Structure 1
Amino acid sequence: MSVAEQNFEGADSASIAASIREVLERQKAAHLSEGPPSARRRKDWLDRSIALLVDNQQEIAEAIASDFGHRSHEQTLLTDVMGSIGPLKHAKAHLETWMKPEKRKVQFPLGLLGAKARIEYQPLGVIGIISPWNFPVNLTFAPLAGAFAAGNRVMIKPSEFTPATSELMVRMFKEAYDETEVAVITGGPAVGEAFSRQPFDHLLFTGATSIAYHVMRAAAENLVPVTLELGGKSPVIISDKAPMEDAAAKVMAGKTMNAGQICLAPDYVFVPENKVDAFIGQAEKAVAKMYPTLKDNPDYTSVINQRHFDRLHSYLDDAKEKGARIVEINPAKEDFSQQPYHKIPPTIVVNPTDDMKIMQDEIFGPLLPVKSYKKVEEALDYINAHPRPLGLYHFSPDENEQREVLTRTTSGGVTLNDVIMHVAQEDLPFGGVGPSGMGSYHGVDGFKAFSHAKSVYTQAKAKFVTELFRPPFGAKTRKTLASQIKK
């Protein structure tokens, strides 16, 4: 029985950790005995993942819909299936170029004498991946692009919040890979904690900042390097010069995708104070066009579970109690008090104050605070006074204003005149900064994140090069030193 098939319920932490460690040791032993995989082997690993996604696309859509209560099959095919195949194909197309040694310059005059320097990208060994529930397939398979391209084996801990999807991935990976190549470890928080404590060669965690503290602390026990893909409150600034209809439509498309359960979802919007009502009106039109109905609309996703449903409603209750204006966007005026899922209509909270919970926590749902401003400097000052976000979005046709926003703010990434889209560009690194994350991946940056950049120096053949700096030191050495130690 593989560790992925074991039932850890009732098991103590030591036995859980031992079972996971056994798989890790087998993967490390296979990596060492087989050596760095060829480009052909790496492409085979990538092809197998692509085939899994293509062949199981319907089962994936059904499993994720089951876990969410309701989730659009088309959205899953877009974000979790197609959105994973793209990175895998990109890595396959470029990995031979990425694998080539990278030439570097040597110190003068060693290059003239025949010395050489290069970087060789070496597989790290075994990569641990802790994937979240919001895009459970994409955020498992997309990291495999960089991990496989770099020649690594992988152990995966998916979220316990999406059990049907996790069990499907166990079956899928078992069909396509030996456990020494890919292993999926399922279970709850105790399994996640034990997984985090393993001596991986690199650990990628995607999830909440609050959990990242524990993951990083656990990884530190074995000095495991980590890539943390977190979140935070990603702001939007809509310029006074931006076409409001276009900006509102794009913001609401990003906010309603997956019911806002996206680490890069617009978390709050800055709108010129004389255009707040115009934004709300255009937002209502945009939602009505995308979702004429919501309650039974197959395109509108449910909140993942009761706990998050209650959490989001608590934000609205708190905002109401503290005097915020609440605008529920419900085109068909449906009654959500009785429903089979956990759907929440897109809801705007106008000019919230910082003492409201909705402005303190990452929302991760279809609620959107809208703050007014007089000058763009106010928005920049507010953003800079808060933790650095994973994403930042600016709508403006003015390139000078764009440059001011880019220069004066720090975020993981930026999309101009839209939201979220920078994450879909495979040739751009994806990652956060500060509380929103550490490290990055995607494309060549993912290949490098999961590789060891080994420096290799080849000494010049000329004998005097090495003898110059060996005792006994003489006039020639002193002359060489004098030529270099100067302003």
Structure 2
Amino acid sequence: MSKLENIHIDQDYSYLIDRLLSQKSAFLGNPMPTAQQRIESLNKLKRAIITNTDNIVEAIAKDFSNRPEAETLLAEIFPLLEAIEYSKSHIKKWMKRQNRKVPLTLMPASVSVLYQPLGVVGIVVPWNFPLFLGLSPLVSALAAGNRAMIKMSEFAPRTAELVRRMIRAEFSADEVTVVTGAVEVSTEFTKLPFDHLVFTGATPIGKVVMRAAADNLTPVTLELGGKSPAIIHESFPIDEAAERIAFGKGLNAGQICVSPDYILCPRHKVNAFAQAFIKAMSRNYPSIRSNEDYTAIISERQLNRLKSYLHDAEEKGAKIISINPAEETFEDTRKLPMTLVLNTTEEMLVESEEIFGPILPIKPYDNIEEAIEYVNQGPRPLALYYFDWNKQRAQNVLARTHSGGACINDTLSHVTVDDAPFGGIGPSGMGHYHGKEGFLNFSKAKTVVHKGRFNAAKYVAPPWNKPVYKLLVGLLWFKFKRLHR
């Protein structure tokens, strides 16, 4: 606990240390929860979500000023419940001690790997999916037998308060605790010596979080984002690509870390894709202003940021196409129509910054090699989307590009898969969670060598002229030289 006593944290936030101390003390009292105890923790979380579903939908809708129930159900609540059920059904298997091969020099013995909980996991939650991105890491942390402290986003205050009450009703404070408050609380929260820290948010803030964690040598999982491309192959039907991309880009009005950030389209099909995309979006959202199916921007600050990107692009020569089928005005709302940006250049903000909203640049390319080179020249994205019926070409693109995850002929859907890891690479993040990888991420894989009553070491111990030592060396050289042939 001396690590906590020497932590440099503002005195006004000392309650954070008290909560962490309480959880660390409780963990020491039960450092290896049974499978049944972990399953019960997940059942508590499931009960909290199901009991409060209507309240969750309402709170998130109010935080955004408008977000449809369908998006909250499909993108937050159902994926969480699916993850809980998946983890519950696999915990016993994941916890099993794994036997490993024993080297000749250690025989007779056994070698195994034991997966132990890390302790207390800190989770910093963003505003765009304030339920899923807070409780999804929690599912993995609980499955691995940990305790957790969650800092909710100050930009979704209603959801934050609701989650705090939900968790408090089901968990004791030394199991799971939720912290709310302004950005200053988040800053002090990341200074705490957690046993693991999860942060989801913007890349620049991720760097700050990682520096804070480094002072305590706290391992981190960073889910950041970046510029996720969607590449359309020459042969792929433009109308089909537009319809599939419109569905993914329209969700949460593009306020998703894996939302398609820009389109790489064959040069002679750019206009055709733009028209097809406008048609698809207009069909999905025939109006915007009073349409409860179209999500608003979370805050005035974010809305002004997005508008500044459009203004910057237009001033520098881009063509701006606002998809506003009902020709409405939005001055007194936080809604921003989906907007295409054509003729972009690299000095524009829409090319250099992660968009995180309903803005979609379309960039032309002349051949697929050019498209691959363009992606590889930029920071590695959190997701890559490739549209092509040809499986061999698709595998070639996947092999030659790096991204946190990928979809072929779809967008976003890889995030909802529980039996596969989710995570970034480089500027788009590090570490994984979901399913088994989440369990491993929040566990310490401890190697255990077990020797019995017979001590073979005494037959090869110094002096180094014993017959058994010479035999062992001879066997090893025979093995390695034979393999060298």
SS in 1 for 2:104: coil
1:290 aligns with 2:272: no
CA distance in 2, matches of 1:102, 1:286: 51
Picking from 69, 75, 79, the partner of 2:75 is: 79
Give 1:96-107 correspondences, 5 Å limit.
96-107=92-103
2:473 to 438, 462, 481: 481
Q: What is aligned with 1:232? A: 226
Cα displacement (A) at 1:250: 1.1
Residue 479 of structure 1, CA deviation: 4.0
- Per the TM alignment, residue 126 of structure 1 is displaced from its structure 2 partner at its CA by 0.6
Q: Distance in 1 between matches of 2:235 and 2:42?
A: 45
Give 3-state SS (helix, strand or coil) of 1:430's partner: coil
| CA deviation string 1:401-457 (max 9, x = no partner) | 112211110100110100111111111100000000011110000001001111111
- Per the alignment, residue 8 of structure 1 pairs with none
Matched, 1:257 2:251: yes
**Aligned residues of 2:234 and 2:266 also touching (Cα < 8 A):** yes
Give distance in 2, aligned partners of 1:417 and 1:266: 12
The number of equivalent residue pairs is 471
2 CA distance for matches of 1:24 and 1:168? Answer: 21
- The structural deviation recorded for 1:88 is 1.1
SS in 1 for 2:10: helix
Query: Which amino acid is the alignment partner of residue 139 of structure 2?
Result: A
Q: What is the CA distance between 1:194 and its match in structure 2? A: 0.9
How far, CA to CA, are the matches of 2:132 and 2:192 in structure 1?
A: 24
2:182 alignment counterpart: 188
Counterpart for residue 396 of structure 2: 404
Query: For structure 1, which segment, 219-228 or 472-481, has the greater mean C-alpha deviation from structure 2 after superposition?
Result: 472-481
Partners of 2:338 and 2:10 in 1: CA distance: 45
- Give the equivalent residue in structure 2 for 1:325: 319
| CA–CA separation in structure 1 for the residues paired with 2:304 and 2:130 | 22
How far apart are 1:41 and its partner, in Å?
1.1
Q: How far 1:351 moved relative to its partner? A: 2.9
SS at match of 1:59: helix
**What is the identity, as a one-letter code, of the residue corresponding to 1:334?**
E
TM-score with structure 2 setting the length: 0.95
**1:269-348 equivalence runs, <5 A:** 269-336=263-330, 338-339=331-332, 341-348=333-340
Shift of 1:469: 3.2
> Which residue in 1 is equivalent to 2:5?
none
Establish whether residue 151 from structure 1 lines up as the match of residue 145 from structure 2.
Answer: yes
1:268 and 2:262 are equivalent in the alignment: yes
Q: Which residue of 2 is the match for residue 57 of structure 1?
A: 53
What amino acid does structure 1 have at the position aligned with 2:228? S
Partners of 2:151 and 2:329 in 1: CA distance: 38
1:108 pairs with 2:100: no
Q: Verify the 8 A CA contact 2:9 2:191 in the aligned structure 1.
A: no
| Alignment-derived partner of residue 67 in structure 1 | 63
Q: Is the 8 A contact 2:68 2:295 kept in 1?
A: yes
Give the residue type in structure 1 aligned to 2:369: E
Of 422, 429, 436, 2:414 maps to: 422
Check the 8 A contact 2:31/2:119 in 1, yes or no.
no
Q: Residue 376 of structure 2 aligns with which residue?
A: 384
2:205 corresponds to which letter in structure 1? I
Aligned positions of 1:8-47 closer than 5 A: 14-47=10-43
**1: distance between equivalents of 2:397 and 2:459?**
53
Single out whichever of 425-434 and 12-21 deviates more from structure 2: 12-21
Return the alpha-carbon distance in structure 2 between the equivalents of residues 475 and 73 of structure 1: 77
Deviation at 1:459, TM superposition (A): 2.1
2:125 to 110, 128, 131: 131
Does the CA contact (< 8 Å) of 2:227 and 2:382 recur in 1? yes
Instruction: Write the distance in 2 (CA, Å) between the matches of 1:265 and 1:327.
Output: 19
1:368 matched residue in structure 2? 360
Task: Give the aligned residue type for 1:472.
Answer: P
Worse-superposed segment, 477-486 or 266-275: 477-486
Q: Partners of 1:404 and 1:331 in 2: how far apart? A: 39
- Cα RMSD after superposing both structures: 1.4
Any conservation in 2 of the 1:16–1:194 contact (CA below 8 Å)?
no
Q: Cα offset for 1:19? A: 1.1
1:94 & 1:419 partners in 2: Cα distance? 27
User: In the TM superposition, what is the alpha-carbon distance from 1:460 to its structure 2 partner?
Assistant: 5.1
Query: What is the TM-score normalised by the length of structure 1?
Result: 0.94
Describe the superposition over 1:18-45 as per-residue Cα deviations: whole angstroms up to 9, x where unpaired: 2101110111111111331111111111
User: Amino acid of the residue matched to residue 146 of structure 2?
Assistant: N
- Per-residue CA deviation, residues 124-157 of structure 1 (Å, 9 max, x unaligned), is 1111000110000011111111111111111000
Query: Identity over aligned residues, as a percent?
Result: 45
CA contact (8 A) 1:88 1:144 kept: no
Superposed CA deviations along residues 299-351 of structure 1, whole A, max 9, x for unmatched, are 10001111111111111111111111111111112122x33x31111111013
| Equivalence for 2:426 | 434
Whichever residue aligns with residue 47 of structure 2, its letter is A
